[in-house]
A = this chain, B = another copy of it.
Amino acid sequence: MTVEKNDTKNKIQDAAERLIIQGGYGAFSFRDIAEEVGIKSASVHYHYPTKGDLASAVMTRYINEFSAQLPNPNDESLDPNAMLEGFINGFKAKIVDHQNMSLCTMLTADKHILPDEVSAALTAFYNVKIEWLTLLFMRLASLQEEQAKTQTIQFLATLHGASVLVQATGNADFFERALSYWRMVYVK
């Protein structure tokens, strides 16, 4: 119980996630993962029979971790401005500090070649984010649901687009510049 029983499984997922973030779905291989974990590629297949299984597991873990850290947007004891700020800063940490795009943005680019289950998990993840942000904007700006959803889509687009620009140009400060409007209006 205290001992981590699925240590190898977790290490495999860690390696897979890192490789996907760096090069997309096509850039992680069982051999690379095996080497990083310190076992043989056949043993990776023991834990995750197919590449799709492994990618699904990584995606699912990512969604769960992400969702678990989202506070309840309607919790009156929490400051909604701080929640939005936390959302922005969490995203920023991934793409600016680690110099790569987020897992979901990478997989979105590869969507045409993803196994169906992974593709579906990806869509579900975006819907989770959209729903959470919509609730937050309803509270932040006293908006009706549809207006709040439009704000959400504009905000999410800016966030993801900012990561594309940073990655493409190598210009890290483009992130803050893209987000400046949202920080100005809603944060602090």
Tell me the number of copies of this protein.
2
Chain A residues numbered 139-181 whose CB sits less than 8 Å from any CB in chain B: 149-150, 153-154, 156-162, 164-165, 167-170, 174, 177-178, 180-181
Q: Which of A40-48, A52-60, A75-83, A106-114 contacts B (4 or more CB under 8 A)?
A: A106-114
Q: Which residue of B lies closest to A22 (CB)?
A: B112
Q: Which of A9-17, A31-39, A64-72, A122-130 contacts B (4 or more CB under 8 A)?
A: A122-130
Which of B26, B130, B156 is the one whose CB lies under 8 Å from A161?
A: B156
Q: Is A105 an interface residue (CB 8 A)?
A: yes
Bound state CA distance, A137 and B101, in angstroms? 28
B150, A111: Cβ atoms under 8 Å? no
Which of B111, B168, B177 is the one whose CB lies under 8 Å from A126?
A: B168
B123, A24: Cβ atoms under 8 Å? no
Measured CB to CB, the closest approach of chain B to A104, in angstroms, equals: 7
Query: Quick one: which of A22, A122, A126 has the most chain B CB within 10 A?
Result: A126
Bound state CA distance, A27 and B26, in angstroms? 8
Contacts of A49 in B (CB 8 A): none
Q: Is A90 an interface residue (CB 8 A)?
A: no
B160, A110: Cβ atoms under 8 Å? no
Interface residues of A (CB under 8 A from B): 22-24, 26-27, 100-101, 104-106, 108-113, 122-123, 126-127, 130, 149-150, 153-154, 156-162, 164-165, 167-170, 174, 177-178, 180-181
